[in-house]
Amino acid sequence: MESHIVKILAVTPITHNVRQFTVEKPAGYSFVPGQATEVSVNKPGWEEERRPFTFTGLNSWHELEFTIKVYDDRHSVTHELGQLKAGDELVLHDVWGTIRYKGEGTFIAGGAGVTPFIAIFRELQHTGQLGKNQLICSNKTLGDIILKDEFTTMLGKRFINTLTAQEVYGYDHHTIDEGYLKEKITDFNQQFYLCGPDPMVQQLKGILVKLAGDEALITLEI
């Protein structure tokens, strides 16, 4: 397996617990929007602690970008990432991932599960192919929504947010279940893209298979 040591160029806060990491791009390194790589911190004791993170920039950019939720209450890779700054180093590995754009549809994300969709929507915007795609995001609070302004600019009313732990005017306050999907989606003969906590993804997959009648329409990370 190939590996690359890359320097962090910038760390930018996105929400209270999400950071955007801009890092060097190795020569010849390429990916498809939605794909990921395993990342480790290039510090003693952390080099082999790999975790998967999605590329959130575009392959045409000169740098790589990751948008990562940091868990400060855990002795973990993300906690360690949260301590890093420009000049520190990461180790990148092979590119992989099964979430790829297959055509217009509805993207459904739970929390940081939106990250594989960031590069996909940026690419669609860049090529003028946003079409009628819509994005439904579930977060606990308003402050947890990742890249709210950017997605709103791209999608307008087709960026739908529901908050499960907070009631805010102008936002839904509901879990994503069968009733909610029927309310937001009129035609289930379309592509569906799912990413989020595994219990949520598996539950929604079952609901969408029932409503769409075709498991081939549903894309999720496996």
Enumerate the domain spans of the chain: 4-96, 105-220
Please count the other Cβ atoms lying within 10 Å of the Cβ belonging to residue 200.
Answer: 19
CB 118 within 8 A of CB 101: no
Q: Which residue has the tokens 């498809």?
A: 32
CB 192 within 8 A of CB 182: no
Token digits for 63?
């740098």
CA angle 200–36–6, rounded 5-degree value: 140
CB 201 within 8 A of CB 220: yes
pLDDT confidence of residue 71: 86
Q: How many helices (H) and strands (E) does the chain have?
A: 5, 11
Token digits for 187?
């035609």
CATH code reported for the domain at 105-220: 3.40.50.80
**Per-position pLDDT tens, the chain of length 222:** 689 999 999 999 999 999 999 999 999 999 999 999 999 999 999 999 999 999 999 999 999 999 999 987 667 898 899 999 999 999 999 999 879 999 999 999 999 999 999 999 999 999 999 999 999 999 999 999 999 999 999 999 999 999 999 999 999 999 999 999 999 999 999 999 999 999 999 999 999 999 999 999 999 976
CA-CA distance, 3 to 18, in Å (whole number)? 25
Question: Secondary structure of the chain: what % helix, strand, coil (to 5)?
Answer: 25, 30, 40
pLDDT confidence of residue 97: 86
Closest CA to 114 of 39, 191, 173, 195: 195
CA angle 220–5–39, rounded 5-degree value: 25
Q: 97-131: string of b/e by CB count within 10 Å (b at 16+)?
A: bebebeeebbbbbbbbbbbbbbbbbbbbeeeeebe
Query: What CATH number does domain 4-96 carry, 2.40.30.10, 3.40.50.720, 3.40.50.300, 3.40.605.10?
Result: 2.40.30.10
pLDDT confidence of residue 206: 97
Q: Which residues are CB-neighbours of 103 under 8 A, at least 6 positions away?
A: 190, 191
pLDDT confidence of residue 76: 84
Asked if 4-96 and 105-220 have one fold, the answer is: no
List strand residue ranges (DSSP E) for 28-114, in order. 36-41, 51-54, 63-69, 89-96, 105-110
